[in-house]
Structures are given as C-alpha cells and as structure tokens.
Structure 1
C-alpha cells in the first residue's frame, strides 16, 4: 500500500509508539492529545516515556515532516484516511473496561471524518467494541476495524517494527485488507480475522501470560515447601519446546498497566455470556496471594513482626526498563508492608529522589536506602541493583536480611558480605 494519511488519537505508550512507528514506515501521521503541555513537549522532541528508540523516532519523524502533533483533533481528522484510537481503557467499577474515552471521542469527531475513512481500535477493547463504535459513528461511509497492539513496555518500538504477528479484524474483509496494507513494509505474518476474534486475541494473550506467571509463583511456593530450587526446576521445564522459557520467573506478583485490568475485563466479558472462567479467577486470586506471601516471608526472616521496622525497597516500577508505576506489584507489596506497621524508604532509577510515591519517601542513592533500613527488599529487577557494592551496602544496613523477590542477586556475593539473601522458591540452604 502507498503512503497513507493517518491520525492517531492519544499519545500514551500505545499511541505515541504507533504514531512514530507508522511515520517511520513512510506514512503521514498526525498525533492528537487533549493535553496541551504534552503536545508542546513532543513538538520540542521531549518524550516523557522511558522507551528505548522512541525519542529518536519522534525526532526523525518531525524532521522529515511525516510526524506532527496537535490538540486540534477535529481539524486533524478531516484529512484522515485512517483514524487510530489509542485511548485509555481503564478498569471500571464493575471490573470491566471503561470505554468512556473511546465513546466520547468517537461521538465528538464522527461528523468530521471524511468519506471512506477507516476507524481503527488499537487499544485493548472488549469484544463487541467495533460494533459499538460503528453504531456511535452512524456513518455507513466510514468503516471500523480492530488492530490490537502487542507492545511490551521497554521494548515497544522493537515489538512494533519487528512483530511476531499483526492481527487485523474487520467484518468487511476489504476493510481488513486496507488496514493490513499499512504494515506492508514489515516482514511479519498478518492475520486478518473478523472483528470479534481480533478483539478477543489481546485478552487471551494477556490472560494466558498472567496465568503462566501465577503458576510459576505457585510452583516457587511449592519448591520452598519441598526444599527444592525453583530456578533449577524452571530451567528444566523451560527446555520443553511445548512450554518455553519465557515468563518462567517467579516474582512479587504480576502487574503493570495491562495484565491486571485485562484479566478483570476478561472475567467480566465471560460473565456476560454465562461463563464463570474459574481458571482465570484463580489466576487473579493467586496473584493477590503472592504479594501477601512476599510480606509474610519478610516478616518471618525479620523475626515475625514488622511493626516499626525500617524497610528499604529497591525498585518501584512494575518492571525494569520502564518508568511506569501503574499497577506495580512493588507498590502493592509496599502497601501491605505499611499495613503491617513498617516504615519505608525506596530507590528506583527512574523515580527522582525527594518524590513521594504512595507515602514512600524516594531517594536517589541505594546506599542511602541501606543506611536508613534494617532490611532490604528487591522488588524490581533493575540490573543496577545486582551490580551494587554489597560489602558497602552491608556496612550501612542495620541488619542482615535481604529479600530478593526477583531471584536476581548473587547469594554467595551477599553471603560473603555478611548478608542473608532470601529468594523466592530457593532452597533453604541457599
């Protein structure tokens, strides 16, 4: 397909990555956001998202004139051949996806869309959203398609430009082919389906990953009870090609901006068609239990009570490589620690010292965290923490307990520094 004129509404992780990457593929792209401050920052080449390669694509796109930013969505869409909706779909009060942003946007701009435009749902939306958007548009001359994103924070640009698959869903096959043509320069399988199937794909993928993570954390708990080593168990299991090694690492629970809300939305969708989905419900419940297990494990290592204990936290973001705190299991564990009476100080490479996050005081220096703490908990697998001078950390720390919820730290290194490193699912003698 030749170069197309595309409007992307929303400049969050999905929208900004989508816009910048589509521009890099040779299309003409206008990104729209209601946040004027953010638009001014982007026009100046300042990208507020920590995402490798994204800032370079934004600068490159603007330099070539293929990427623009504006707050005037009504004007921008008048020339659009494709309109990508990259809007937030947060968890609603009932656990389902809140489509207010999508629906209000469609209602506002529907009369401005040119004849023949294709509206593309890029955000993760419930099954039936394409039908819902079609009804809100009330424009037989404007088509609707679903094109779910599969972008991981920290590798979003790579995931977009080198995807393992591209899914496009439309109830009119020709519309699906038009959207698929936007990706003709990418060498990846393009799967064109009906709209409902495409909408379901993203939920199924995320819920399966969540299930895998909950299963691994349960296995880690089992390993501790049998005095087995979870790292060795999962290394052997992951060599089975039917299972694979991806997502076979225990941790403090899964989180982020997608998995928690998508799991709840999937449960809600299942209820609407009379399916209880007990496996997914157990997946979500086990994730809550994992956070509680982490706190219980720390309390046991600390002597039973955390009341008044000064605990240092290493890492706050939901995973390394991103500055995103949304749905972070680190913050969920921190909340439980506070409920047990602990006093918290934290360090994260992407959170500036002096900031307060959910009542936690943040400092820039991990050694300062150790100096103020009686025990440490590693919650995010930033490589910087593995490379710390643990002899120096031990001199500052007011105790010997280190709980490594990511099994990232070298037990022998910490042991030689006089510290006792407790992992997740590791043998007691370790």
Structure 2
C-alpha cells in the first residue's frame, strides 16, 4: 500500500488463524514469517501446498511468496521482527478452562527478542490473560515491548474475505503507541478499527461467539415449538429476521452448532464465569439446547423406523459447515457415535472432510457420492448443507433406498417436492 510502513511480522502458529493472518498481512505489504513446530505442515507450505482448505488462501499465499515464508526455526522467525503474533490454539483443558500451554510456550520463546516492538495475541484466551503475559514480558526484560489483544472474527470458508473486509478490527492495548502500531499494521483493511483496553478486547471475542451461539440455540428451541404447534419455523425466522433490531443472521434452524470456536468459546466463557463465582444461566441453557439438538435427530429416526438396530443410515455431510474440511466438534461425530451405539450401520459422504483415524469413524463406511451412500439405506440425514446435495437425483435415490426416510437436518430441500418423490421427509421445525 502506498505510504504505508512495511513491517516485519513473526506469526506463531500455522493453523487456520495463523495462516490467514500471515497471508493477509503479506497481502497488505508486510514481510511475514510464519513459524510452526509441525515439520510436515511446514514442509507442505514450503512446497506450495496448504494443509487446510480455505477458499482463496492458497492463491494469496502463492501471490505473496516473496513476502511470506514458513519455518520451524525460532531464530529465523524472530530475525528482524517488530511484531510477534500469537495464533496458536487454546483447546479446553480437563477442568473446562482454556489450555494456554501453547500460548505460554510462545511467550517464553520471546525472551531475548529485545528488538520486538509489540506482542499481539489473536488466540482466544480468558479475560485477564493479557495481564499475565504483560507480567511475563516484564520479568523477561521486555518491559519496553508493547502488548495487544487483537482477536480474530473470521469464519471458516470465508476467512480471507472476513480478514480483509471485517465488520470491525478490535485492538486492545494498554498504551497508545502499541494501539497505534497494531492499527497501522491493518492499513488497507476495509473495516473500522475499535481501540479499547486489553481485558475488554479479550471479552469481545468470547461474548461475540456466545451471542451467535445463543441465536442458533434460540431458533432451534423455536423450531421444536413449531413442530408441536404446527407453525413453520422457516416463515417465523424470515419474519423475525426482518426486524432491524434482530437481523436474520444465525436464525437458521438445524442440528446444532460445532466447529473450532462456538463450542470451545462458549464453554470457556461459562468456565470463566464459574471461576468468578457467577453462573451464566442463559449460556448454560444455550449449550444444553445445542447438545440435545443432535440427539433429537436420532430420536426422530427412531420414532420413524421403530428401532435403529440392524438399519443402514447415511450421513450426508460430515464437516461442521460447508466450505471447509474442519471436523472439530462437528455434529456428525455425535450422530455417528449414537447411531453405532443403537446398532445401526453408518455410511458417510462428504466432499472435503478428513475424519480422524479413530472411533466412531473407523466403524463407518465412506462413499464417493451421496447416491452411493444412500443405496440400500433405510434412512439418510442431511448433516451439512453442501450445495451438491441440491443436485442429487433424489427420485433415483428414493428408488434405491430400502426405506426412503430422509431427515433434512438443515432444511436444505423442498418438503413437498421430496414427499412427491416418495420420501418420508422429516425436517427441523417445519410441519
């Protein structure tokens, strides 16, 4: 960008957030080195392969290969760097708190990097983490190095666009110089910058995801009530969403939310409250509704088929959402496990998913197309709203199933049309 100072940035972590952050900062003109401790991941990135599926990311990495490098070496990552970004994962620990071991590993590795001007954390961390990191930097002789919380608000499948055209860029910093440096780093990004204190910035991330999860669980509760009263949740959600105070985003009924953020962040926020002696009653209910939603899908099949023992059930879609290969906390994992526990044979289709080589997936059979997955099945569940499912020859699918029972867990297909093809069609919140 013309007139923008070019900074040298070290990004720690080559996962979804680290790779998108590194590639987008390079796109903005900065010199970026991404460091990870996984040799295979770095080998793939150096060879031009992206180890995750994210639309547009691979092209951006190639386009900026002169400014974007990948390394296993700590010294190489920090060489000349002015800003260190912490983008490692913070999975839930056994206690329910966020596991910050990877964050602390990065912070400890910065000791001696006196040339740094700032450390910025994108990883989702509990409120108050910044104060502890600040104290650790001071103790390591890095009191002159600024600290910032710069949470990410990108969604998998649209992460590159979300970074470059965000609703807001949140910068939490305890001093104006650091806030200015991180803000300046984003020059060229099409979105407003909101500067605040560190603790508030840490809370924004958790609160945002909790509110989005609340909207999904709420509409799923309304969907259940619609089923019992004869109302149509699709019509209800459409009209509710037209209210400018509410909006239509995330008012889509289904079989529950998953992914790397909503489950982890909701639990982290609830645990954070518990640690202060306060019980977040609303958020606890939101989590419970989501947990039950996946099991309600299995119960619907049992109500229709009588028993699941000895049946064949096809799961159509495995990832937690379309447009990604991410299986973290995907509802399909619970569905597969419950179906197997009920004695069903589980068949699977997904165009991108890479299930773990462990249960329940080692006890399922994977098929190349939806048509093959449903051939001979007693029932099928639309788990992920992949657009390919709209192109299926459903008339033929009905003819090759042992019992043409379809539970549309994402309300993707037309009820009247599917019933006309001979399906026993079940959906979420529609009469």
TM-score band (shorter)?
Answer: over 0.9
- Which of the numbers 343, 346, 349 marks the counterpart of 1:347? 349
Alpha carbons 1:79, 1:114 under 8 Å: kept: no
Residue 352 of structure 1, CA deviation: 6.8
When normalised by structure 2's length, the TM-score is 0.95
Alpha carbons 1:345, 1:372 under 8 Å: kept: no
Equivalent-residue separation in structure 1 for 2:393 and 2:110 (angstroms): 56
Does 2:102 align with 1:98? no
Equivalent-residue separation in structure 1 for 2:237 and 2:347 (angstroms): 33
SS of 1:49's equivalent in the other structure is coil
- Which of the numbers 155, 167, 179 marks the counterpart of 1:164? 167
Residue 297 of structure 1, CA deviation: 1.1
Residue 173 of structure 1, CA deviation: 2.2
- Which of the numbers 405, 410, 416 marks the counterpart of 1:406? 410
Query: How does 1:52-63 map onto structure 2 within 5 Å?
Result: 52-62=55-65
The 1:355–1:390 alpha-carbon spacing in structure 2 relative to 1, beyond 3 Å, is: farther
Residue 331 of structure 1, CA deviation: 1.4
Query: How does 1:327-366 map onto structure 2 within 5 Å?
Result: 327-351=329-353, 357=361, 359-366=363-370
Alpha carbons 1:228, 1:425 under 8 Å: kept: yes
Equivalent-residue separation in structure 2 for 1:48 and 1:373 (angstroms): 34
**Unaligned 5+ runs, structure 1:** none
Residue 60 of structure 1, CA deviation: 0.7
Alpha carbons 1:177, 1:192 under 8 Å: kept: no
Query: How does 1:156-195 map onto structure 2 within 5 Å?
Result: 156-195=159-198
Residue 245 of structure 1, CA deviation: 0.6
- Which of the numbers 373, 376, 379 marks the counterpart of 2:377? 373
Between 41-50 and 81-90, report the one with greater CA deviation: 41-50
Alpha carbons 2:150, 2:171 under 8 Å: kept: yes
Match of 1:114 in 2: 114
Equivalent-residue separation in structure 1 for 2:251 and 2:355 (angstroms): 33
Alpha carbons 2:325, 2:354 under 8 Å: kept: no
Residue 412 of structure 1, CA deviation: 2.8
The 1:354–1:184 alpha-carbon spacing in structure 2 relative to 1, beyond 3 Å, is: closer
Alpha carbons 1:354, 1:361 under 8 Å: kept: no
Match of 2:326 in 1: 324
When normalised by structure 1's length, the TM-score is 0.96
Alpha carbons 1:9, 1:73 under 8 Å: kept: no
Residue 219 of structure 1, CA deviation: 0.5
Equivalent-residue separation in structure 2 for 1:380 and 1:274 (angstroms): 38
Residue 209 of structure 1, CA deviation: 0.6
Equivalent-residue separation in structure 2 for 1:414 and 1:364 (angstroms): 23
Aligned positions, number: 423
Match of 2:271 in 1: 268
- Which of the numbers 141, 146, 150 marks the counterpart of 2:149? 146
Residue 68 of structure 1, CA deviation: 0.6
Equivalent-residue separation in structure 2 for 1:125 and 1:103 (angstroms): 11
Aligned-residue Cα RMSD (Å) equals: 1.5
The 1:354–1:153 alpha-carbon spacing in structure 2 relative to 1, beyond 3 Å, is: closer
